[in-house]
Structure 1
Amino acid sequence: MKVSVLILSYNFEPYIEACLLSVLTQITDFDFEVLCIDDASSDNSASVIKALATQHTNLHFFENKVNLDGKLSLIKIMQASTGHYLIFMDGDDLALPGKLQAMVNYLEQHPECALVYHEAESFDSATNQTLGYWSRDFYNWQYIPQQANAEHLVKYGTFLNTSSVGFRRHDKMVDAIDGSYGLVGDYSWHILNTMYAGGSIDFINQVYGRYRVHNNNCTSRIKSDLNRREACLDSQIWACDKALALGMDNDTVAKGKAHHYFATAMYFLKLHEDARFTRFITESATFNQFFDARHHLAWELRENPNMARAKLFIT
């Protein structure tokens, strides 16, 4: 089998059919299989997937009787997959025409590429309105070359949309998932997957997917819960430590950690969570690295959040 598309579903009854059909109707010059796992949803997601599987012989349905979480579910279908190339999607997102062909063409033409990703359009699920673009609108996009690497992930954060990612099969691909951690486990997964596979992280500058924004997706839940935002920082620091353990140089990892603390501090500064801002911007300096001039200014104004807001945010 040339390609395996891996799709996770948990309580995605309103979205999973559209997601699966957007993949199953792709026109390609190769065979592909779709492996979709439902993680013990409390809605009718499983029934929707099962019905589609009776109509499409290349759709393989897996069902957890108890909730395992995304990591274990992904391992389960990855181990069952047979494709030389693997492409991941969340069950609430959409593939646009040409996605699979473009990703496979790129990987076949660029053997040095460990992980390929395309641009994704963010859209409001309720109105279908386009909200922006995942990569081009990423706040550190100016630092990301077309052919990046794991060091860019460590230093600058998650500049790729997980539902836009594809890679070739390798011996440690399951280890990369098994080693991921926390609320932003995809961040550590991409770092580990790239380092284990060896190679670059390459961008296809074409919109081949739509990222659905709704109240129940991970990004929305993190934004609505300050404690979850703090937990995200823990996940990011853990991922940086894993990169260090796998041989990434200490200076790069220190820059990444300093940046993550700075970004977290800025998040809380904007929300007028001044105590958290002061705590995280102070901790960001312990790595003896400043991400940029704004980081240094925020640290200098750590005891004066009102002045920091006036200097750092355009009102």
Structure 2
Amino acid sequence: MSSVTERQSLVSVAIITYNQKEYLRECIESVLAQDYPNIEIVVADDCSTDSTQDMLREYEKQYPGRFILKLAEKNQGITKNSNEAQFACTGKYIAWMGGDDLMLPGKISKQVDFMEAREDCDICYHNLEVFDSDTGKKIRLFNTPKNKFEGDVRVSIRQSTFNGACSNMVRASKVPEHGFRETLPVASDWMYWIEILHYGGGKIYYIDEVLGRYRKHANNVTRPETYITQNELDHLNTCNLIMSLDAAYFPDALYIYAKRLQGLRHKLNYPSALLRSFVLKPGLKPLAGLFIYGLTLGKVRL
């Protein structure tokens, strides 16, 4: 290793994957193409059945000492798999990716430079290009002027997950000892960001550049469901966990809990969900919903 590389902080690129062999090679190549030299690539595979693990072993042989592989022998779920990667990382910074995400040139260098210049920066995120997996065409940008937030833990609580997962680089020393909360089996990332900011006492900052690509395909397109999903349950439970962190977060947790209830009104008892949302966070939307529902004898639901 050169003296220049030794002077640069080690970055762990943590890649979470399950049955994504079709996309994983492109993901890994986008990491290997980065101009930042001091990188370890930590890949946690959740017992894929599509020969992903064989491909990863080939990479490990091709790049000795560059890869750390955590290859599960049985499926654990996304949160436990994320912790497999988390606890294997040895870098000063951790850059998170899904197995179908892509880095754009200069991403790691720019984020490291940004964080090195700001000691209070515990999380750094950037904009992403959301693209269609089949055509490769850009669909939209992940962040718009309305959801580019910076600040302390209360911003992350009130605004929820405004930071696209594969855009985040975190300061490893500020990660909670337990990593991701395994009581949240699917959607544990929101609580992970919150706890980094809570225990670390730092801030989340935004780089206003597109430094990554988020793939939209059949496996990650959100479809409307008639029942409450595990993802939605995890978000509601996160609100409860937030309140247990610090009494000062109680108003913020109630605020976001009310918004979640309003969003779930068509899956819960409709008037009850709106009423509870209004009690927790008085506003025109739940009030209007209740008014129209009552006026039409339950025939119209906004």
Q: How does 1:46-85 map to 2 (within 5 A)?
A: 46-57=53-64, 58-85=66-93
| Matched residue SS, 1:100 | helix
Q: CA deviation at 1:251?
A: 1.4
Of 148-157 and 78-87, deviating more is 148-157
- Asked if 1:207 corresponds to 2:210, the answer is yes
Tell me by how many angstroms 1:133 deviates. 1.6
1:301 aligns with 2:292: yes
Unaligned runs of 5+ in 2: 1-8
* Matched length: 290
Tell me, yes or no, if structure 1 residue 234 matches structure 2 residue 233: yes
5 Å-filtered alignment, 1:81-230, equals 81-136=89-144, 142=146, 144-145=148-149, 147-170=150-173, 172-178=175-181, 181-217=184-220, 220=221, 222-229=222-229
Q: CA RMSD in A?
A: 2.3
**Structure 1 stretch 9-18 or stretch 152-161: which is displaced more?**
152-161
Query: What is the distance in 1 between the residues matched to 2:290 and 2:196?
Result: 34
Structure 1 unaligned runs (5+)? 310-315
Residue matched to 2:275: 282
C-alpha distance in 1, partners of 2:161/2:291?
Answer: 27
Q: Does 1:31 align with 2:26?
A: no
Distance 1:286 1:24, change over 3 A: same
Q: 1:213 to 1:279 in 2, by over 3 A?
A: farther
Question: Is 1:40 matched with 2:47?
Answer: yes
> 2 CA distance for matches of 1:66 and 1:176?
20
Deviation of 1:193 after TM superposition, in Å, equals 2.3
1:171 Cα deviation after fit: 5.8
Match of 1:243 in 2: 242
Normalised by the length of structure 2, the TM-score is 0.87
Higher share of residues assigned helix: 1
Per-residue CA deviation, residues 1-46 of structure 1 (Å, 9 max, x unaligned), is 6111110110001100000110111002x41100112111111211
User: Aligned AA for 1:237?
Assistant: L
**Percentage of matched positions with identical amino acids:** 22
Q: Is 1:36–1:77's contact at 8 Å kept on the other side of the alignment? A: yes
Aligned 8 A contact 2:123 2:168 in 1: yes
